[in-house]
Amino acid sequence: MQDALGGVQTVLVLGGGSDLGLATARRLVDDRATTVVLAGRDPGAMAEGADSLRRAGARRVEVASFDALDRGSHGAFVERCWAEYGDIDLVLVAFGVLGDQDVAEHDADAALAIIDANFTGAVSVLIPLIDRMRAQGHGTVVVLSSVAGERARRSNFVYGSSKAGLDAFCQGMGDALVGTGVRMMIVRPGFVHSKMTEGLDPAPLATTPEAVADAIVEGLAKGREIVWVPAALRGVMSGLRHVPRPVFRRLPV
């Protein structure tokens, strides 16, 4: 349950080893969240992140097994979370893979591995999870989309298409949730320095996991439906969306 001041108490992070997910969980603990569940493919690898949340002041931190690709397990995973941790106020969907564009555009299995993790896997877990939240009558789902989904780019259109699918699904789900007590917030970061982007040349307006976490917490407080990080990307992308394709494909984005 949320606390008396409407603050988030129990947080479930799907992709519990994610740099953006952990930074956001830490920020929520600073804001009085008491229980955090980190769910990911390798619970052992999340132990250090869990310790950092305990040091930050979380009263209860748990790690749980979750694989976005194991779609058959998602319904039971959601039921287990509610049975073990009680009502969950906020779910952060932070898992994802960037993949290798050069390989994926020639190899259907490699492309589908990206789509399955970022889009199909997310839809598969979001449906039972949101149904469970509707039954509890409150809660927020925060989904890490990306500017890459706003307009497909030559350099990463397989990843971009997976995020475009996820983003569109979440926009519609957000509309479906109006009046249910559950809300959806879509986050569209640009380039963030994290494990995912290690070794890549930073794009303009590159930012940090901590800045994403701050923007998420601010978006939650203001009741935003969509959050761009940094905020300037909203204007940049609304301009880029209308640039004619032959020009767009020549831009260094």
Ligand X SMILES: NC(=O)c1ccc[n+]([C@@H]2O[C@H](COP(=O)([O-])OP(=O)(O)OC[C@H]3O[C@@H](n4cnc5c(N)ncnc54)[C@H](OP(=O)(O)O)[C@@H]3O)[C@@H](O)[C@H]2O)c1
Residues recognised as catalytic: 159
Considering the complex, what minimum distance in angstroms separates the CB of residue 194 from ligand X? 3
Considering the complex, what minimum distance in angstroms separates the CB of residue 143 from ligand X? 8
Side-chain half-sphere of 148: how many Cα atoms within 13 Å? 22
Instruction: Give the interface with ligand X as residue ranges (CB under 6 A).
Output: 15, 17-21, 40-42, 45, 66-69, 94-97, 117, 121, 144, 146, 189, 191-192, 194-197
Closest CA to 180 of 137, 140, 221, 142: 137
DSSP letter, residue 126 = H
Cα Rg of the chain (Å, integer): 18
- State how far the alpha carbon of 159 is from the alpha carbons of 39, 130, 227, in Å: 22, 24, 19
Q: Exposed (0-12), middle (13-18) or buried (19+): which is 8, by Cβ within 10 Å?
A: buried
* Residue of closest CB approach to ligand X: 96
Kindly report the backbone phi and psi dihedral angles of residue 83, in degrees, each rounded to the nearest multiple of 5, phi listed first: -65, -40
Considering the complex, what minimum distance in angstroms separates the CB of residue 224 from ligand X? 17
Q: Give the residue with the Cβ less far from ligand X, 9 or 24.
A: 24
Considering the complex, what minimum distance in angstroms separates the CB of residue 5 from ligand X? 28
